[in-house]
Amino acid sequence: MRAKKTVKIENVEVKPIKERKSYFSEMQKISFGKMSNKDQTFFIKRLSFLVKAGVPVLDSLHMIKEQTRKKGYVRILDAIILDVSNGQQLSTSLAKYPNMFSDFSINIISFGEASGILSENLDYLADELRKKEVLKKKVIGAFVYPIVVTLATFGITGFLMIYLFPKIMPVFQSLHIKLPLSTRIVIFLSEFIRHNGIYIFFALVSAVLGFMFVLKKSKTFHFYFDKFILRIPLIGNIIRDYNLANSTRTIGLLLKGGVTVSEAIPIAERTSSNLVYREEFKKLSVSINRGDKISLYLGTRRHLFPDVLSQIISVGERSGNLSNSLIYLSELYESQVDDFTKNLSSLIEPALMIIMGILVGFIAISIITPIYSITQNLNG
């Protein structure tokens, strides 16, 4: 009997461990392996509000958990609550989930715990995450509108070619007249799309999915694609300034939080979305560990880091106020991203409208011209 009881107890003890593993994997599936910036900002902001109101961290975590609907996040909060209740620092527990909480957030929280200003740092962190999210939405928004207009253009053109034109075409063919060149071109394209449309569709979908797969799996391909994007006029400027705004803000805030330059650079590298800049931050980190200044290295990479960046950083290094210089630069590049996105919209919108007008107008002329010719012949 005792042996049986022992086995039973062992089974009970093992089971929660298995469940925790499945819970964590379930969480990763639900959140696609990473907590969104919006969710992270919400979590930090809510925690900041509760801690500032005098609620202990452990009780604050319990309250946030009660208001959380995503099962994956609930599992993680359970684990964090267990760690904190066992005496671990909040930042130490969050560091166990790098896919959920960034190094930047963990370091800011860690400094707040060490210096006794956790609520202030949480509030500050939430505000900075919100700014990054706003900046990201501006960049995405600048590219979404042109894509939507382009898809609409092809959609309207496809509708005219596949559904409208084939209904009119038999009328032209029955009259046995010589059709204008534009009409013959549209007839050829219409027939080609109608007979091969499904193959064209699957070829395009396969090409897009294949591109995305290679982009995700091949770091070399991803690196050269990011490099190519940076060379595109205006679009490259937006991507460059977006990355510089994020990296300078990250490093500046970490320095304010007591993190050293040699520790802050690798964190900025990991938070960068562009592989070209990631590679540059790796090289910068090596340069700093040799004892070089940031401005010295950036001055040799002017195609990625403008002169104004290295000059202002140099002033900050000499004055001992590097963190403020970096935060000033982040605000400068954020304003430039805002200007570039507005310019992109103002330039692309009329261009796309002209292209749409030409395509639709070409099809309209191809339909109207034969009708006009028939009318003239009848009147003659």
Vertex 223, ends 220 and 224: CA angle to 5°?
Answer: 90
Question: What distance in Å separates the CA atoms of residue 379 and residue 372, rounded to the nearest whole number?
Answer: 11
Task: Indicate the residue type of 73.
Answer: Y
Can you tell me which residue has the tokens 């219409």? 190
Token readout for 380 is 């003659």
| 103: Cα separation from own chain's centroid | 17
Give, as one character, the DSSP assignment of residue 160: I
Region 2-101: CATH code = 1.20.81.30
- Give kind and range of the element (H or E) at residue 317: helix 307-319
Q: Where in the sequence of the chain do the CATH 1.20.81.30 domains occur?
A: 2-101, 117-380
Give, as one character, the DSSP assignment of residue 288: H
With a CB cutoff of 8 Å and minimum separation 6, the contacts of 214 are 221
**Is 185:238 a contact under the CB 8 Å cutoff?**
no
Single out the residue of 82, 80, 126 nearest to residue 104, CA to CA. Answer: 126
Please report the pLDDT score of residue 281 as a whole number.
92
* Alpha-helix runs per DSSP H in the chain: 2-30, 37-52, 57-67, 71-85, 90-94, 103-115, 118-159, 165-175, 181-217, 219-231, 235-256, 261-271, 275-289, 294-298, 307-319, 322-379
With a CB cutoff of 8 Å and minimum separation 6, the contacts of 93 are 79, 80, 83, 84
**Is 223:275 a contact under the CB 8 Å cutoff?**
yes
Please report the pLDDT score of residue 19 as a whole number.
38
**Is 159:194 a contact under the CB 8 Å cutoff?**
no
Burial class (CB in 10 A: 0-12, 13-18, 19+), 365: middle
Please report the pLDDT score of residue 31 as a whole number.
39
Question: What distance in Å separates the CA atoms of residue 9 and residue 12, rounded to the nearest whole number?
Answer: 5
Specify the fold of 117-380. Receptor-associated Protein (1.20.81)
Can you tell me which residue has the tokens 């805002």? 338
Please report the pLDDT score of residue 343 as a whole number.
76
Give, as one character, the DSSP assignment of residue 259: -
Token readout for 151 is 């898809």
Please report the pLDDT score of residue 6 as a whole number.
38
How many residues belong to the chain?
380
State whether the Cα torsion 110-113-119-121 is positive or negative: negative
φ, ψ for residue 180, nearest 5 deg: -60, 160
Tens-digit pLDDT string for the chain (380 aa): 444 443 333 443 333 333 334 333 333 333 334 667 777 888 888 888 888 888 888 898 989 888 877 777 888 888 899 988 998 888 888 888 887 887 788 888 887 887 777 888 888 788 878 888 888 887 887 778 778 878 887 787 777 777 777 777 777 767 666 777 888 888 888 888 878 878 888 998 999 999 999 988 898 999 999 999 999 888 888 889 988 988 898 898 888 877 888 888 988 888 788 899 999 999 999 999 998 899 999 988 888 999 999 999 999 999 888 999 999 999 899 888 888 887 777 777 788 788 878 887 887 787 787 777 767 666 65
User: Rounded to two decimals, what is the model's pTM?
Assistant: 0.68
**Is 61:21 a contact under the CB 8 Å cutoff?**
no
Q: Give 121's Cβ-side CA count (13 Å radius).
A: 22
Please report the pLDDT score of residue 91 as a whole number.
87
Token readout for 141 is 């928004």
Residue 4: CB atoms within 10 A of its CB come to 8
